[in-house]
């Protein structure tokens, strides 16, 4: 425990034992966060009708009477689609993760500024965890896209920060290439593109735009026009429901869905070019291979989702691959960032 900057532990928080405990907690938290992100995506997608039998009529059908108390999604026949086992698992995993995050925060707070990442990253991790807890408790609704985005981006940010914390506290790159500054700039652009693509995909899903373009390059409704962007990219956008609880979808949602697909191609093309640019650096070979596998797999799964009419498990896999693409991009940035020598043991 910490009081006025003084910490009371059975052992020195700077000792090898506590460093080992901290790294174990961060590793477990990273694993639990990944599980939480995947389960959260699965539950969210199942609850809005992805993979339902009466597709696409059952897609985005909410119960308007229960929206303020927590969403209950119904199929066209009125059956509850809530996946109870996944929801229970998500709740217990998230609760355990919260305890681990508190322990990480307390230990890093007592270690002070002597750590490789300083206090900023652990503080951000703790803050995001509190934010997600409050967001999930007070606003369990699917009719507000901003709430859905807060949960999705918060989970991804938590995952990325835990991954960065684990890597930086276990040492930086052993040997940096001669063109490290230029390479690092390329990777930062890649990380920005991957993040933007996750945001765009999350916003598309939160607004139920997935069914608006059943063809690879064909959308329902009127022709896509840039004037529609003011509607679909409005962060304060609300989703209207009809009397049966069906989310009302406008023609402008086709623009959102198509923007997500085209930006995915742009991101994949940039990643392919960057991998080709960095492939001669032996120390980056494994990371570049993993990044390439995630990028190619993401495109293949995305195309498969369209032709197979958005099966639930495939769409969930699409979210998991996005997390993998984010982690591999962060790992590549870590490999190109000089290590900061920490006085902590190990």
Position 165 pLDDT exceeds 70: yes
Lowest mean pLDDT segment, chosen from 39-53, 91-105, 259-273: 39-53
Reported as a single tens digit per residue, the pLDDT across 168-187 is 876 555 566 667 778 899 99
Reported as a single tens digit per residue, the pLDDT across 96-115 is 999 999 999 988 887 766 56
Lowest mean pLDDT segment, chosen from 3-17, 240-254, 305-319: 3-17
Q: To the nearest whole number, what is the mean pLDDT of the chain?
A: 81
**Rounded mean pLDDT, 250-273:** 90
Position 43 pLDDT exceeds 70: yes
The whole-number pLDDT of residue 3 equals: 44
**Could you give the percent of the chain with pLDDT greater than 90?**
40
**Could you give the percent of the chain with pLDDT greater than 70?**
78
The whole-number pLDDT of residue 179 equals: 73
Total residue count of the chain as it appears in this document: 346
CA angle in degrees (0–180, nearest 5) for 135-323-62? 45
Non-local CB neighbours of 221 within 8 Å, separated by 6+ positions? 212, 250, 251, 254
Q: Indicate if the alpha-carbon torsion angle 312, 314, 318, 323 is positive or negative.
A: positive
Reported as a single tens digit per residue, the pLDDT across 183-233 is 899 999 999 999 999 999 999 988 888 878 877 777 776 555 666 777 788
CA distances, 325 to each of 132, 145, 308 (Å): 22, 23, 23
Residue (of 127, 124, 104, 86) closest to 27 by Cα position = 104
The whole-number pLDDT of residue 79 equals: 39
Listed by start position, the domains of the chain span 2-335
Burial of 43 (0-12, 13-18, 19+ CB in 10 A): middle
What span, in angstroms and rounded, lies between the C-alpha atoms of 314 and 318?
Answer: 6
What span, in angstroms and rounded, lies between the C-alpha atoms of 173 and 292?
Answer: 20
The whole-number pLDDT of residue 80 equals: 45
SS3 301: helix
Burial of 283 (0-12, 13-18, 19+ CB in 10 A): middle
**Residue 93 burial (CB count, 10 A):** 17
Non-local CB neighbours of 328 within 8 Å, separated by 6+ positions? 287, 290, 291, 294
The whole-number pLDDT of residue 337 equals: 86
CB 108 within 8 A of CB 94: no
- Got the DSSP string for 208-263? T-GGG--SSS--SSSPP-GGGHHHHT-TT----B-TTSBBP--TTHHHHHHHHHHH
């Amino acid at each position: 425990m910490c009081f006025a900057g003084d910490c009371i532990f059975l052992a020195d928080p700077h000792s090898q034992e506590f460093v080992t405990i901290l790294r174990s907690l961060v590793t477990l938290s990273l694993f639990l966060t990944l599980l939480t992100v995947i389960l959260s995506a699965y539950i969210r997608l199942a609850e809005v009708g992805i993979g339902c039998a009466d597709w696409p009529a059952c897609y985005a059908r909410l119960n308007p009477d229960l929206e303020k108390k927590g969403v209950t999604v119904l199929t066209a026949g009125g059956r509850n689609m809530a996946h109870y086992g996944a929801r229970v698992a998500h709740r217990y995993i998230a609760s355990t993760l919260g305890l681990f995050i508190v322990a990480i925060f307390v230990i890093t707070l007592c270690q002070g500024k002597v750590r490789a990442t300083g206090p900023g990253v652990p503080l951000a991790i703790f803050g995001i965890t509190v934010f997600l807890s409050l967001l999930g408790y007070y606003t369990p609704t699917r009719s507000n896209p901003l709430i859905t985005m807060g949960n999705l981006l918060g989970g991804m940010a938590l995952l990325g920060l835990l991954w960065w914390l684990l890597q930086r506290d276990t040492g930086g790159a052993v040997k940096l290439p001669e063109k490290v500054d230029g390479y690092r700039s390329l990777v930062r652009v890649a990380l920005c593109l991957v993040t933007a693509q996750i945001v765009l995909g999350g916003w598309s899903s939160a607004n139920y735009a997935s069914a608006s373009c059943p063809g690879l390059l064909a959308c329902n409704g009127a022709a896509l026009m840039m004037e529609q962007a003011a509607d679909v990219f409005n962060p304060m956008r609300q989703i209207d429901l009809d009397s049966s609880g069906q989310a009302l979808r406008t023609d402008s949602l086709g623009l959102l869905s198509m923007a997500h697909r085209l930006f995915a191609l742009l991101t994949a093309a940039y990643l392919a070019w960057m991998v080709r640019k960095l492939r001669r650096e032996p120390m980056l070979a494994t990371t570049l291979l993993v990044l390439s596998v995630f990028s190619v797999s993401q495109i293949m799964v995305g195309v498969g989702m369209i032709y197979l009419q958005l099966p639930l498990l495939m769409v969930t896999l699409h979210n998991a691959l996005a997390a993998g693409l984010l982690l591999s991009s962060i790992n590549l940035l870590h490999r190109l960032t000089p290590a900061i020598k920490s006085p902590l043991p190990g």
